[in-house]
């Protein structure tokens, strides 16, 4: 199992290049602290809580970027099986369909295939987190007033990746021996977004039954 996980998750199979924190910055130190807590085996409900003395926006920013990297990696492991033929609609089973909308080409919610949605989503998030106006990295530069709403939108859309992967591709995850890894990442994500109210309850509905089994 460990060998299989190493083969799957240590390869450079991220769906997009990973966003990294600059060494020496406060954000980098906060990221290291978060990673150390994760590796120490501390309860995930505790790991997501704002560390004493830290700025809430910094904590949200660090975790949002980290979840983008990790979910990007999870999707990268199954993306060859998520094709326009196998997944002609971005969905979570028969009940949930996700349409794409942005500020540029798709100004109205538009039906797209799952791989199209993933490409559009990762491009959209990457542009946002690399924009200094949205995710400032220089000391003393304030976060924008809409920062929390922006992160809520990013995390809500990233949750949909979990929905699609769990409902349509979990057999592949299981076949790779990566089920425990993906479940841990999902639990961490779920505890984080619920701790800071970063996604609406209705968005969590597609995975409600599974969530009750592994997160409570």
Binding-site members for Zn(2+) are 82, 87, 164, 169
The Cα 125–Cα 65 span in angstroms is 9
- Binding site: residue ranges? 82, 87, 164, 169
Other C-beta atoms within 10 Å of 169: how many? Answer: 20
Identify the burial level of 10 via C-beta atoms within 10 angstroms of its C-beta, where 0-12 means exposed, 13-18 middle and 19 or more buried: exposed
Identify the burial level of 157 via C-beta atoms within 10 angstroms of its C-beta, where 0-12 means exposed, 13-18 middle and 19 or more buried: buried
The Cα 211–Cα 132 span in angstroms is 35
The Cα 84–Cα 154 span in angstroms is 23
Angle at 77 between CA 74 and CA 81, to 5 degrees: 120
């Amino acid at each position: 199992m460990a060998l299989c996980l190493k083969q799957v998750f240590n390869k450079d199979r991220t769906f997009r290049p990973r966003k990294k924190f600059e060494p020496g910055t406060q954000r980098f130190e906060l990221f290291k602290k978060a990673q150390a807590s994760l590796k120490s085996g501390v309860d995930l409900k505790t790991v997501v809580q704002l560390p004493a003395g830290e700025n809430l926006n910094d904590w949200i920013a660090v975790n949002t970027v980290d979840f983008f990297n990790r979910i990007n990696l999870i999707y990268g492991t199954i993306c060859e099986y998520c094709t326009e033929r196998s997944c002609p609609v971005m969905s979570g089973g028969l009940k949930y369909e996700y349409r794409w909308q942005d500020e540029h080409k798709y100004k109205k919610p538009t039906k797209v295939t799952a791989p199209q949605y993933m490409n559009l989503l990762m491009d959209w998030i990457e542009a946002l987190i690399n924009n200094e106006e949205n995710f400032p990295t220089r000391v003393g530069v304030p976060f924008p007033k809409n920062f929390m709403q922006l992160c809520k939108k990013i995390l809500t859309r990233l949750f949909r990746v979990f929905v699609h992967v769990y409902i349509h591709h979990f057999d592949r995850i299981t076949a790779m021996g990566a089920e425990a890894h993906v479940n841990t990442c999902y639990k961490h994500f779920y505890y984080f977004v619920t701790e800071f109210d970063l996604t609406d309850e209705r968005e969590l509905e597609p995975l409600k039954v599974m969530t009750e089994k592994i997160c409570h």
